[in-house]
Amino acid sequence: MNYRHAFHAGSFADVLKHAVLCRILDYLRTKDAPFRVIDTHAGAGLYDLTGAEASRGGEWEDGIGRLVAAEVPPKAAVLLVPYLDVIGALNDRGALKVYPGSPAIVRAWLRPDDRLIACELEPKAAVTLASNLRGDPRIKTLEIDGWTALSAYVPPPERRGLVLVDPPFERDDDFYQLSKGLAVAHRKWATGIYALWYPIKGRPEPDALAKSLTKLGIRKILRAELTVSPLSDPSRLNGSGLIVVNPPWTLESELKALLPVLAGILGRDGKGGFRLDWLAGE
């Protein structure tokens, strides 16, 4: 499949990914020591939901559009505040026209000494990314292959932080690259937090990824999946998942509150579902 950020901006998959990203950032900010985020496949950073790419499928309407219009239970609503605050700051009240990609979300929560490295290989997206994030001394944008960046920039000088890996899955070996890339990076920086995003059309690829990750000998691997429709039609995107290595100790309980709410809001025809389990560790 091809999960180009611009075409799927604000989709249900982005909601899961970015809500979890904000929970991890919130945790990192609880300590005074600076942190660094390495975004290996950053995309363009900001997306016009009224533009041709996002409008083509209108996926945001069944993603962030549904979420902002929904009545969210209080506990989940509190957990979503860091995510929804970033979106609200970019849009007029009552209007949803701009959606932040992961580098823009990270930028919103960086403190003066925190840092972001945002990597994007596709030339047009890389130029737009650099333009969207220009003028911020805390941020470096690089036109570089994300798989190279995954290994090249760890460990960071701060020794605290997150590596976010969400490739477009244009290549048949991207699931394999997730496992291989994590293995290499983790050997260099075993204490870092890693968040690996993947699409779910059917079970074979996600299950093979989980199996390969359990063989790496990494101690703490948490899996969170959100499905919005049954997996009976493998030609469509039916869900997405995040593998979080070295998750914050708060994340499991937060996801227990968030995932059922997101499944209920974002599920198609009331058929949303979720999975939360440990592949290794707890």
pLDDT-derived band at 173 (thresholds 50, 70, 90) equals confident
Q: What's the whole-number mean pLDDT along residues 163-172? A: 90
pLDDT-derived band at 2 (thresholds 50, 70, 90) equals very low
DSSP sequence for 97-135: -EEE-HHHHHHHH--TT-EEEEE--SHHHHHHHHHHTTT
When the candidates are 3.40.50.720, 3.30.420.40, 3.30.70.20, 3.40.50.150, the CATH number that belongs to 5-280 is 3.40.50.150
Q: Residue 121: pLDDT above 50?
A: yes
pLDDT-derived band at 168 (thresholds 50, 70, 90) equals confident
Give the C-alpha separation, 60 to 66, whole Å.
Answer: 8
* Residue pLDDT, tens place only, 143-160: 999 999 999 999 999 999
User: 135 phi and psi, to 5 degrees?
Assistant: 85, 5
Q: Looking up tokens 């950020």, which residue turns up?
A: 5
Q: What's the whole-number mean pLDDT along residues 131-135? A: 96
Q: Which of 166, 172, 173, 269 is catalytic?
A: 166
Q: Residue 3: pLDDT above 60?
A: no
Closest of 206, 196, 211, 194 to residue 246, by C-alpha: 194
Q: What is the reported pLDDT for 5?
A: 66
Per-residue CA distances from 102 to 48, 174, 233, 270, 273 (Å): 14, 19, 29, 28, 24
Which two tokens mark 138?
């805390």
Closest of 79, 92, 67, 62 to residue 22, by C-alpha: 79
Q: What's the whole-number mean pLDDT along residues 45-64? A: 85
Closest of 104, 106, 105, 87 to residue 96, by C-alpha: 87
User: How many other β-carbons are positioned within 10 Å of the β-carbon of residue 51?
Assistant: 13
* Annotated catalytic residue 166: yes
Q: Is 157 helix (H, G, I), strand (E, B) or coil?
A: coil
Contact 37, 164 (CB under 8 A): yes
pLDDT-derived band at 7 (thresholds 50, 70, 90) equals confident
Domain spans, the chain: 5-280
